[in-house]
Chain A
Amino acid sequence: MVEVAVLLSVGRHPASGRPRRAPLDAQALELALQLVESGHAARVHALHAGDPANPALRDYLGMGLDRLEVLDLPPGVDPVPALVARLRELAPTLVLAGAVAEGGEDSGMVPYLMARSLERPIVPDVVALELSGDGADLTQALPRGRRRLVGAGLPLVATLHGSAPAARQSAFARARRGSIDTLPADGVGDAFLEDCAARPWRARPRLMGARRGGTALDRLKAATETRAGQGRLMVQPSPEDAASAIYECLIEQGMIR
């Protein structure tokens, strides 16, 4: 029976900007809980590095966790060293995390940095996982809905893809009952982040250009159809050609000047 550690970050709702459970991390926790329920894993260590008072952490407890460990770090501090130190102590066979979190600076690098520090293999974009003997069979999501089976030895780090099974609902009473254990942790602040100011952005509303006349079908087509056949098709371009094409496109769309 293996032990599983799940790394949980605090997400941010794209519409309201309010903290919430990060969807991919919640799916990682779902996978871990399923491993426990099916008898493949002995227990789940849930880890978060950040503010223990963040109410969004309760969303994870509401999924059925009894306790959640929080490495107490101020905002703007790199969580990797603290997480690595704690994972060395726990020595779980399996470390699960979402492929990317939802914070402003999240690049999805944390699992990779962690795998390097722990000297473990990492399997990204996992949608299913089966433990067999001393290894694991993982199903990886590839673009366009394709799947690939990967075998890997344990211990290992895996990150979850969005098409993994959906996270279970967070129940209010369970969230209230679960406990948050705070552990002291050290970290160094990021001077660049402290200088940054963040503010929400939104486009101004515009009325849709209503097309009058014609049949309902014509109006629907005019409203929904995209213009086809105006792009440039590049088959196996050289990296330089591809990059310059993307660059031109970004300029054309006014994304960069």
Chain B
Amino acid sequence: MIATTLSTIVIAMLAAGLLLALVQARRWRAGRAAEVDFVAGLKALPRRYLVDVHEVVARNSFNSRFHALTAGGFLASLVLIVALALPPLRHGAVWALLSLALAAMLAGGLMVGWRRRVERPAELSGGRFSRLPFALLAYAAAFLTVALDQTAGGLLPGWLALALVLVGAWGCAELVLGVWKGPLKHAVHGALHLVAHPRPLRFRDGAGRDSAIRPLDLEAPKLGTERPVDFDWNRLLGFDACVQCGRCETACPAYAAGLPLNPKKLIQDLVTALDEEGSDRSYAGHGHPGRPLGGVHGGPAEPVIGPMVHPDTLWACTTCRACVQECPMMIEHVDAVIDLRRFQTLELGATPGKAAGVLEELRATDNPGGRPLSRRLDWAVDLDLPVLAGKGGCDVLLWLGDGAFELRTQRSLRALVRLLRRAGVDFAVLGAEELDCGDVARRLGDEATFQDLARRNVTTLRRYRFDRIVTADPHALHTLRNEYRPFGLDVPVVHHTAFLLDLLREGLLKAETRLSDSVTYHDPCYLGRYNGEIDAPRALLDAIGLTRVEMERSGLRSSCCGGGGGAPLTDVAGERRIPDVRMDHARATGAATVAVACPNCALMLEGVVGPRPQVAEIAELVLAATEPRP
């Protein structure tokens, strides 16, 4: 009798949960169509879940342990309880297995309770989530008692067993029906999101890293995303998979600096906007700094920017991908930001601050500073750089980028050129033929200007013969390597740190002078997170004999300098500046020098006032170390 009641209740709950999930699915289906390979996604699901997601969750081992215990125990118990619906299976061994699963879940539930109720991290959201430990414990403890009793042959009085089943049923309802809006919706939505992910290549079954922004069809009737229903349906599903764990919040450099952006709240705003008459009154976590909760509203067919999300929130993002790197549900925050920015820029012409003027200059002169392209080599008039148009071909094309117009970057470029000469590299530059790569236009949502620059740069590059492109600008590196591919460019693009490391290893450059200072290396987002290159710069620093200390946040989890994504142009005000926050990390190491490998990072970090470590580009350090001994 107990077995029948138990399995009937649980099967009914699962059916109700499925129904609710279908109702939820209708909300995403309102989004735009997207090409999704469901078969491949379903096949890849176990691996994506157990390897890719686990890798993210396991960065906090306590969380991964309780998650494995709770989710594993819960799923196993559901299967076993459903099996108990068949009378021949109501065997002591099945009850014993069920007890085992529930015991594991109980342990996990206690750990969840510890995290949510005792050691509660600040970034966690409350609300419905606060009831999660009680639901887990009610389900696990009550059903465990019943299962143990049944294993032992049914010693408890009937009314007590029934009461326990009812207590467990409440827990089960809370967990399963929670698919609707509650804590467990991420289990269903998250799995579906892994199946229908908009970037399947980012998983290990794909290429492992997929960070390039997708080209936009400029012929489309509406450009960019205005309303929630303008997102692809699987992106809406991705937002709904958010479990409000707040890992993005702790990683976001804009949030840390008190800029009005919290990636978790941004995603929750997009989830809220999926409901008719949605409002953030029931949101129970940290909001966007400086913006009170409860004042925003929206709906699936209403504009997102304005009533739901303040424009400052949109433009505070540096596109550093720290949130994406940290998200256990594999949500693509940056793609959402870029889609929304595209509508603001291309349809409304509402790019804020200096950015609108920069885009206009970029269109008129092909560089964001509005300078004549023939002046790109003025800084090197004494270096007599070989120009590719005069040479016809070379081994290494040195892509200068727009830093060539910048005093600070010219210093590091001079160092790089002297190193290339010292190593006898056959290199050339494009000179006046080099246009801006379009990175800043694309991040600011001006896809039209980006595509124009990309096509013309690709046409120029395909005219010449060279083996590879070397650049000191990770933004240009990422754009040329990953984002020009759909426009027909497929050549190796190497960052100068990797290239210099090769020269040192091949013996073409020799470290002659030992530099004695301690140094800490600041990873540029577009080299580290976007392209996964975190080892070569470190190996280079080691090779020239510097003592290297790591910052609290480094490598793939490094913090942004605040210079990417057009953020310095839109210049949204916060409590602090992002580079000041980052310099605090560098100061904490006690290192005398911060080594940077990106012109933006050099500019942003050198702009920090007060006592601080000196900022040096890696090429400058290598030049100093390879200076021949007198």
Contact = CB atoms under 8 A, between A and B. Distances in A.
Interface of A: 13, 15-16, 18, 20, 62-64, 168-174, 202, 205-207
Given A15-B372, A18-B365, A206-B381, A169 B347 contact: no
B346 A16 contact: no
A63 B349 contact: yes
B373 A16 contact: yes
Contacts of B351: 169
A15 B371 CA distance: 6
A169 B364 contact: no
Contact of A169 (B218, B359, B366, B371): B359
B346 A173 contact: yes
A202 B372 contact: yes
B165 to A, nearest CB: 60
Nearest to B364: A13
B345 A207 contact: no
A205 B375 CA distance: 8
Given A173-B223, A205-B381, A13 B349 contact: no
Interchain residue pairs A-B with the least CB separation, the first 3: A171-B349, A169-B349, A205-B378
B347 A173 contact: yes
Interface string B204-218: 000000000000001
B446 interface: yes
Query: Chain A at the B interface: mostly helix, strand, loop or mixed?
Result: loop
B448 interface: yes
Contacts of B359: 169
Nearest to A171: B349
A205 to B, nearest CB: 4
29 contacts: A15-B364, A15-B372, A16-B365, A16-B372, A18-B364, A18-B365, A62-B349, A168-B349, A169-B345, A169-B350, A169-B351, A170-B349, A171-B345, A171-B346, A171-B347, A171-B348, A171-B349, A172-B223, A172-B345, A172-B346, A172-B446, A172-B449, A173-B223, A174-B347, A202-B374, A205-B375, A205-B378, A206-B381, A207-B381
Contacts of B370: 13, 15
B275 interface: no
A62 B371 CA distance: 24
Nearest to B447: A172
Nearest to A62: B349
Contacts of A168: 349
Contacts of B371: 15
Interface of B: 218, 222-223, 345-351, 356, 359-360, 363-366, 370-375, 377-378, 381-382, 446, 448-449
Nearest to B219: A176
A207 B382 contact: yes
B364 A16 contact: yes
Given A63-B349, A169-B351, A174-B347, A20 B364 contact: yes
B224 to A, nearest CB: 9
B429 to A, nearest CB: 15
Contacts of A205: 375, 377-378, 381
Given A13-B364, A13-B365, 15 more contacts: A15-B370, A16-B365, A20-B363, A62-B349, A63-B349, A168-B349, A169-B356, A169-B360, A170-B360, A171-B346, A172-B345, A173-B222, A173-B223, A173-B347, A206-B381
Contacts of A206: 381
A13 B360 CA distance: 10
B381 A174 contact: no
A169 B441 CA distance: 14
A223 to B, nearest CB: 11
Contacts of A13: 364-365, 370
A227 to B, nearest CB: 23
A239 B477 CA distance: 60
Nearest to B379: A205
B434 to A, nearest CB: 14
A39 to B, nearest CB: 21
Nearest to B449: A172
B349 A174 contact: yes
A170 B349 CA distance: 6
A253 B346 CA distance: 47
Nearest to B374: A202
A81 to B, nearest CB: 31
A144 B218 CA distance: 45
A62 B345 CA distance: 11
Contacts of B373: 16
A203 to B, nearest CB: 10
Contacts of A20: 360, 363-364
A18 B365 CA distance: 7
B247 to A, nearest CB: 36
Contacts of B364: 13, 15-16, 18, 20
A207 B373 CA distance: 18
Nearest to B343: A173
Contacts of B449: 172
A172 B360 CA distance: 11
Contacts of B374: 202
A205 B382 CA distance: 10
A15 B365 contact: yes
Nearest to A20: B364
Contacts of A174: 347, 349
Nearest to A16: B365
A219 to B, nearest CB: 13
A17 to B, nearest CB: 9
